[in-house]
Structure 1
């Protein structure tokens, strides 16, 4: 579709509205400012926010939604379902790998006129190009921060998340917890049943760990049979409860019981002076004590 000449209205199917010459509607200064703002970030969530605020300077727009990519990416005020509003859906320039077209959704409190529609089409054309760059950046970042076998975060992902949490801790004086997890007798599984079965065990353990976590918690695989979790815990009591929940989840797996798989865990709560190494070393030392005490148990630093 040529975005400079047509715009799709999702409220009237198969209906396209011709746009007037957008060059007469947007000055070179306005367009340069708009482009400079879009080019200031390649982070998907930030880009959506920047785009909405730029649109809001030129159009009477209620919200912008990127829900085809992530349901959380909605910017502006939530539209009252009982109120009369106009929704426009503009397709992305680039189709997905599955051949489907994704859309950006725009909501207005009242019917936008031809000039407003022309401006929106013009702005959307530039935004869709930058959005494609942000999506590719997100894809590459996910590759760089995800463990390919289990789908959990890897060491790079752990470092990114830790940096974010330590900033939050310093800003809001809100602590967090770390669990370091090791499978008991995993080497025996690889030696007697082979690495394919060993990989199946690792994938199942990762699934059990992820299912035991709450929304704010994150799980990672460091390699081999080493896992860890960053948890929204402020006290050792909360951390122990999380460890108990995880061990219970592991025990509930029929698949893992076939292999007699258990886990040993060490935990630590973030302290103000901690960096990533200090916190991890404390939790790792606690894990070592758990292994030495007979395995299949939890120790706190």
Structure 2
């Protein structure tokens, strides 16, 4: 891996018109077209793909990647090259992320200079895309528990059902709520109620697989989408939830238990019928023994 290059775009140096001061008319038009394309999307992978088409005119690359913490994206068809070249991007002296080129031949000094200039075009679109991504993540998150919210559940359920139909897999849906939560909340106050909800959310999170998704709808209502599901996998999740609740000091202190209901998707389901069947299973379970799952 070669030495990191710092590309620093300070506010007083950046000027959209200054970029086009040098070069012939054809180059100026091409640069303007690139800038317009990059500013027409807020999706990081689209930005990277557009940019890679221009960068590929100057270097032989087999992949292009952008990373910033947990944010990672790559151009379509990226694969390992003979070497890698990394550029650290900065905006107003603040670290933005790292561009990694998978290259097949060394980058010449002249083309390295061109890349550094081209990076000025991608810095602001990347920054806008990251802000947009973060804003969307917050919009999909339950502020109390940190779980995904009902809005995100609707999107993920649709995606999971489509994936299951396409690949002939089984997807399970579990819904859960706390027993007599209102009494606990009214007796001990909303602060304790909030802490109980957060503890229960953690109990659900530690009980599922990495491929499963946990959501809070509001109040004490939760749901779990279980992909690649089987009766065995749902039973294991049930037992883990039971253990997690019994091992949580706060939930044990206030004698918190939950009811669960689940069902599997069938080929005639839409999102509404799938959820309603799981909700009916929960309703039946509320009138029976907590934590015994029902198949409908």
**TM-score, normalized by length of structure 2?**
0.82
Query: Which stretch shifts more, 149-158 or 240-249?
Result: 240-249
RMSD: 2.9
- 2:7 corresponds to 1:11: no
Equivalent in the alignment of 2:98? 104
Distance (whole Å) between structure 2 residues aligned to residue 77 and residue 26 of structure 1 = 32
Choose from 145, 165, 185 the match for 1:150.
145
8 Å CA contact 1:66, 1:104 repeated in 2: yes
- 2:59 corresponds to 1:59: yes
Equivalent in the alignment of 1:93? 91
- 2:38 corresponds to 1:38: yes
Query: Which stretch shifts more, 157-166 or 61-70?
Result: 61-70
8 Å CA contact 2:38, 2:122 repeated in 1: yes
8 Å CA contact 1:179, 1:243 repeated in 2: no
Deviations 1:100-141 (A, max 9, x none): 513323333443113322331233222111111111111211
Deviation at 1:205, TM superposition (A): 0.9
**1:111–1:14 CA distance, 2 compared to 1 (3 A):** same
Aligned length in residues: 281
8 Å CA contact 2:175, 2:278 repeated in 1: yes
Query: Which stretch shifts more, 222-231 or 233-242?
Result: 233-242
Deviation at 1:247, TM superposition (A): 2.5
Choose from 251, 256, 259 the match for 2:254.
259
**1:102–1:14 CA distance, 2 compared to 1 (3 A):** closer
Equivalent in the alignment of 2:225? 230
SS of match in other structure, 1:274 = coil
- 2:80 corresponds to 1:78: yes
**1:62–1:11 CA distance, 2 compared to 1 (3 A):** farther
Deviation at 1:157, TM superposition (A): 0.8
Distance (whole Å) between structure 2 residues aligned to residue 101 and residue 172 of structure 1 = 41
Equivalent in the alignment of 1:4? none
8 Å CA contact 1:286, 1:300 repeated in 2: yes
Query: Which stretch shifts more, 110-119 or 33-42?
Result: 33-42
Matches within 5 A, 1:1-301: 11=3, 23=23, 27-28=27-28, 30-31=30-31, 34-35=34-35, 37-39=37-39, 41-52=41-52, 54-70=54-70, 72-75=72-75, 76-78=78-80, 85=83, 87-94=85-92, 100-107=94-101, 108-301=103-296
Deviation at 1:59, TM superposition (A): 2.3
Distance (whole Å) between structure 1 residues aligned to residue 261 and residue 203 of structure 2 = 17
Deviation at 1:160, TM superposition (A): 1.6
Distance (whole Å) between structure 2 residues aligned to residue 137 and residue 71 of structure 1 = 12
**1:261–1:78 CA distance, 2 compared to 1 (3 A):** farther
8 Å CA contact 2:6, 2:90 repeated in 1: no
Equivalent in the alignment of 2:15? none
Distance (whole Å) between structure 1 residues aligned to residue 51 and residue 85 of structure 2 = 17
Distance (whole Å) between structure 1 residues aligned to residue 242 and residue 280 of structure 2 = 19
Distance (whole Å) between structure 1 residues aligned to residue 169 and residue 262 of structure 2 = 17
**1:267–1:14 CA distance, 2 compared to 1 (3 A):** closer
Equivalent in the alignment of 1:3? none
**1:147–1:12 CA distance, 2 compared to 1 (3 A):** closer
Deviation at 1:185, TM superposition (A): 1.6
8 Å CA contact 2:7, 2:116 repeated in 1: no
